[in-house]
């Protein structure tokens, strides 16, 4: 009887523990390094070793992504830093989801509507980040790892 009760108590404890809901990942500012792929004239154009900074807002509901020294077409004689603000951030216990339907990015000291960002979707899972978006009409994606 005693053994039965003890087992029942242990099983109840285990059940109680299993029922506690998992906590969502708390967004934190992070720097990643990876590859930007731009679809240029229907062909992928890779920018390697590109750094990306993810910076959540104080409440963790929005965030920004800054892509450093990106080049949209191979012929560009310069690279630029682009910041995508006002990204919706949601978290699950497994990952952070990034999403933004439309926003004007910040570059070269202000808003840069020519490369308005649409359809941004992405996630941070563990030490990896990936997202895709359109810079104006230029489909772009990024995959990187935590530095």
Partner 1 sequence: MTGAFFISLALLSSPVVTDTLQESRVTALKEGIPTARLASSVTVLGASVIQKTGTYRPGQLSAMVPGLYIPDYGASLTSTIYLRGLGSRMENPVMGLYVDGIPVLDKNAYDFDWEAVQGATLLRGPQGTLYGRNAMGGVLSLRTLSPSDGARPSALLEYGTANTVRAAGFFTAGNHAFSASFRHTDGFFRNTFSGALCDPYNGLSLRWKWEKGNYSNILSASLSSEGGFAYGQVVDGVPMPVNYNDEAGYRRLSVIEGFRMKQELPLFEVEGTASLQLLADDMQMDQDYTARPVFTLQQTQLSGAVTAEVLARRKEKDAIWHPVTGFFTFYKLNRQKAPVHFKRVGIQELILDNANKNIPSDIGYLSIPDEQMPIYSGFLTGSWNAALFHQSVFRLGRWTLTAGLRLDYEGASMDYDCLAQLHYQFVPTMKAAKPFEVPYRGNVTHHYFQVLPKVSALFEATDRLRFFGTVSKGYRAGGFNTQIFSDILQYQTMTALMKDLGVYLDKPMVSVVAGNTEYNPEKAWNFEVGARYGKGNFRADAALYWIEVRDQQLTVFPEGMTTGRMMTNAGRSRSLGAEGQLLWQPGNWRLQASYAYCHASMEGKALLPYVPVHTVFALAGYHFPIGKTVLSADASLRGAGPFCWNEENSLREPFTLQADARIGLSYSHIELYVRGQNLVGTATHSFYFKSMGNEFLAQGKPRQLIIGLTYKF
The site that binds partner 1 (CB under 8 A) totals a number of residues, namely: 16
- Using left for φ > 0, alpha for ψ between -120 and 50, and beta otherwise, residue 126 falls in left
Least distance from partner 1 to the Cβ atom of residue 51, Å: 12
Site for partner 1 contains 79 (CB under 8 A)? yes
Dihedral sign, Cα of residue 126, residue 128, residue 134, residue 135: positive
Contact stretch for partner 1 (CB under 8 A) within 7-15, 26-34, 84-92, 107-115: 107-115
CA distance linking residue 101 with residue 117, whole number of Å = 8
Closest CA to 81 of 53, 41, 116: 53
Site for partner 1 contains 74 (CB under 8 A)? no
Contact stretch for partner 1 (CB under 8 A) within 28-36, 47-55, 84-92, 110-118: 110-118
Site for partner 1 contains 108 (CB under 8 A)? yes
């Amino acid at each position: 009887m005693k053994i039965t009760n003890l087992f029942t108590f242990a099983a109840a404890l285990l059940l109680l523990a299993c029922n506690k809901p998992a906590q969502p990942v708390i967004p934190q500012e992070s720097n990643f390094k990876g590859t930007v792929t731009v679809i240029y004239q229907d062909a992928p154009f890779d920018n390697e070793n590109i750094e990306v900074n993810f910076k959540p807002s104080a409440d963790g509901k929005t965030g920004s992504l800054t892509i450093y020294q990106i080049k949209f077409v191979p012929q560009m004689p310069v690279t630029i830093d682009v910041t995508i603000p006002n990204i919706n951030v949601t978290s699950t216990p497994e990952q952070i989801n990034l999403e933004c339907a439309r926003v004007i990015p910040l570059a070269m000291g202000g808003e840069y509507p020519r490369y308005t960002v649409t359809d941004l979707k992405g996630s941070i899972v563990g030490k990896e980040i990936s997202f895709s978006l359109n810079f104006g009409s230029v489909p772009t994606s990024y995959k990187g790892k935590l530095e």
